[in-house]
Amino acid sequence: MRAAGEAVIAGATAGIARWIPGQTATALLEEADRALLLGKQQRRGETILSSEVPVGFRPGRFKRAEASAALHDNVRMSLGSDAVHAQRQAERLQKRTRQLVIANALGARLAGMQDVGGIVTAAVDELHRAFGDFLCAVIRLREDGFVEGASLRGAAFIRLGEQSWSQPRHSGIIGRCLRERRVVMVNDVSREPAYESTSETDGTRAELVAPIWVGGRLWGCVNIEEDHLDAFDDDDARLVQMVADQVGAALRSAQLFEQLEGAYLGTAEVLATALQARDAMFGGPFSSIVGLCTEVAERLGMGESDLRDLRYAAALHDIGTIAVPQAILDKPGPLDPQERAVMERHPLVGEQILAPVEYLAGVARLVRHGHERWDGTGYPDGLGSVAIPLAARVIFACDAYSAMLSERPHRGGRTEAQAREELRAGAGSQFDPQVVDALLSVLEPDAEVASVPSEGWQSG
């Protein structure tokens, strides 16, 4: 006990981080927070700069550290129960603040993501970076009764085979979480009947698992393991469940986006099929044009968002022919100048039809330029070379190939060999030469075709 009149020695620890241009407020706060935790755990009563924090420092922010318990004992002896209560409340508030920072950072990363792999990777990255845990993973349920790692962090998971890891869905604490469909927190796995140890994970002492729900369906779970006892408390359980809920909401959003995209593509298929039924000039089946364009674009290294626009544009590139009189479309001979002028307006009409749909803004641009030629003699704008969007160049070559094979009012269809020769003959004038190389490599997979460099091909 403190003697009457004895001075109470108190100290304060501060963590300071310097802002770097371009750094977010969340990242700045996290840097200062790590410095504060280092000071509390190792050098109390000082001001710690974030630059002094070792790269491998594990903050242990989700465990009841022995040092913290010792501090409580010292404070209890010197300051009394009221001060201890205030100290604990302050530390809990600080922990809650850090949890909100983590949740906010994850929410910012997940916003707008539509890729399942990107969503689970973002979640595990934030958890592992902020928690500094021994093991951290997002686990996915499979249809065959097993679970597998959707995204994994930690040396033990690497030894298990990283992304190839799997186990029966009812095994271990993960299995208990999935059966009970709630958060499961085990602070001493040696006392947990459900726990199943492996040689790779024999360092695990505590485990926390929270279920992930996607649209009312159990999708998987978030799994965190630590290498010391009593690693987790109720606040940790609430945070991990909140993260699991964020992941579930993001995955549900991705599902809905995929369904919406499928609805748009289905509408495009209906429109394209209707055009084919009406116009003898357009004989290539919708699915074959879209599939061929996709294969060629992938060989040219086109990214996923550009591939999405390409698929729609491949289906809808001739939608503007709805404004072309049937007599012009069915004319057996060459078009006169006036008829050609009407015909060459159809890309502009197609762009106008799609323009009001914000989702198809990029598609409308490709539809406009789907009849431009590499040598600049196409229509409607006379663009040439790389000024023509890459996807439009791909659609133009693939559509031309399909048209060569089709019967038309003024000519018969070519054989596949004849059509490929026409592609080669038109490379460098009508068609982009490297698009032709890529198209021929799809059409002639066993033939010797010039290599297709990808550098620079996403521009234009």
Tell me, what DSSP letter sits at residue 406? Answer: S
The answer to whether residue 67 is domain-embedded is yes
Q: Read off the pLDDT of each residue in 87-112 and give the average, rounded to a whole number.
A: 69
What is the β-pairing status of strands 14-16 and 47-49? parallel
Range of the domain at 34: 14-109
Q: Are 437 and 452 in contact (CB under 8 A)?
A: yes
The answer to whether residue 65 is domain-embedded is yes
Of these ranges, 89-93, 161-165, 307-311, the one predicted with the greatest mean pLDDT is: 307-311
Residue that wins the pLDDT comparison between 23 and 295: 295
| Residue 52 Cα distances to 34, 56, 93, angstroms | 10, 12, 25
Question: 435 and 307 in one domain?
Answer: yes
- Count CA atoms within 13 Å of residue 127 on its CB side: 34
Considering Cα of 217, then 143, then 262, then 311, what sign does the dihedral take?
A: positive
Question: 91 and 153 in one domain?
Answer: no
pLDDT bin (cut points 50, 70, 90) of residue 65 is very low
Tell me, what DSSP letter sits at residue 3? Answer: P
Q: Residue 59: its pLDDT value, please? A: 57
Tell me, what amino acid is at 46? E
Tell me, what DSSP letter sits at residue 284? Answer: S
Backbone angles phi, psi at 30, to 5 degrees: -65, -40
Question: 427 and 285 in one domain?
Answer: yes
User: pTM higher than 0.75 for the full model?
Assistant: no
Q: Are 210 and 240 in contact (CB under 8 A)?
A: yes
Question: Angle, to 10 degrees, between the axis of helix 390-405 and the axis of helix 416-426?
Answer: 140
Q: Which of 140, 134, 180 is nearest to 155 (CA)?
A: 134
The answer to whether residue 272 is domain-embedded is no
What is the β-pairing status of strands 146-153 and 135-141? antiparallel
The residues, ordered by sequence, that sit 6+ positions from 403 with a Cβ below 8 Å of its Cβ are 281, 282, 283, 284
Q: Are 335 and 343 in contact (CB under 8 A)?
A: yes
Question: 296 and 239 in one domain?
Answer: no
Question: 284 and 148 in one domain?
Answer: no
Q: Residue 158: its pLDDT value, please? A: 66
Question: 93 and 120 in one domain?
Answer: no
Question: 79 and 166 in one domain?
Answer: no
Does residue 108 surpass a pLDDT of 80? no
What CA–CA distance (Å, rounded) separates 49 from 134?
Answer: 26
The answer to whether residue 402 is domain-embedded is yes
Does residue 286 surpass a pLDDT of 60? no
Q: Are 226 and 205 in contact (CB under 8 A)?
A: yes
Alpha helices in 300-432 (DSSP H): 304-316, 326-329, 337-343, 346-354, 361-368, 390-405, 416-426
The answer to whether residue 449 is domain-embedded is no
CATH code, 224:
3.30.450.40
Residue 286, H or E segment = helix 286-299
DSSP 171-236: SHHHHHHHHHTS-EEES-GGG-TT----STTTT--EEEEEEEEETTEEEEEEEEEESSSS---HHH
CATH code, 405:
1.10.3210.10
pLDDT in tens, 119-146: 888 888 877 776 665 788 899 999 998 9
Residue 380, preceding peptide bond in cis (omega within 30° of 0): yes
Greatest pairwise CA separation for the chain in angstroms: 113
Question: 307 and 373 in one domain?
Answer: yes
Question: 41 and 139 in one domain?
Answer: no
Question: 292 and 246 in one domain?
Answer: no
What CA–CA distance (Å, rounded) separates 365 from 348?
Answer: 10
Lowest mean pLDDT among 256-260, 400-404, 410-414, 442-446: 410-414
The total number of structural domains that make up the chain: 3
The answer to whether residue 88 is domain-embedded is yes
Domain end call among 109, 130, 146: 109
Q: Residue 75: its pLDDT value, please? A: 47
Would you call 18 helix, strand, or coil by DSSP? coil
Residue that wins the pLDDT comparison between 291 and 114: 291
Residue 32, H or E segment = helix 25-42
DSSP 83-142: HHHHHHHHHHHHHHHHHHHHHHHHHHHHTT---HHHHHHHHHHHHHHHH--SEEEEEEE-
The answer to whether residue 99 is domain-embedded is yes
Domain end call among 253, 269, 289: 253
- The token duo for 415 is 């054989």
Label residue 26 exposed, middle or buried (CB < 10 Å: 0-12, 13-18, 19+): middle
Q: Residue 231: its pLDDT value, please? A: 86
The answer to whether residue 346 is domain-embedded is yes
Question: 358 and 334 in one domain?
Answer: yes
Residue in the block written with tokens 């790692």: 149
Q: Which of 140, 155, 134, 149 is nearest to 206 (CA)?
A: 134
Domain end call among 215, 236, 253: 253
Q: Residue 357: its pLDDT value, please? A: 80
Lowest mean pLDDT among 50-54, 330-334, 398-402: 50-54
> What is the residue-averaged pLDDT of the chain?
78
Lowest mean pLDDT among 169-183, 352-366, 441-455: 441-455
What CA–CA distance (Å, rounded) separates 299 from 398?
Answer: 14
Question: 408 and 363 in one domain?
Answer: yes
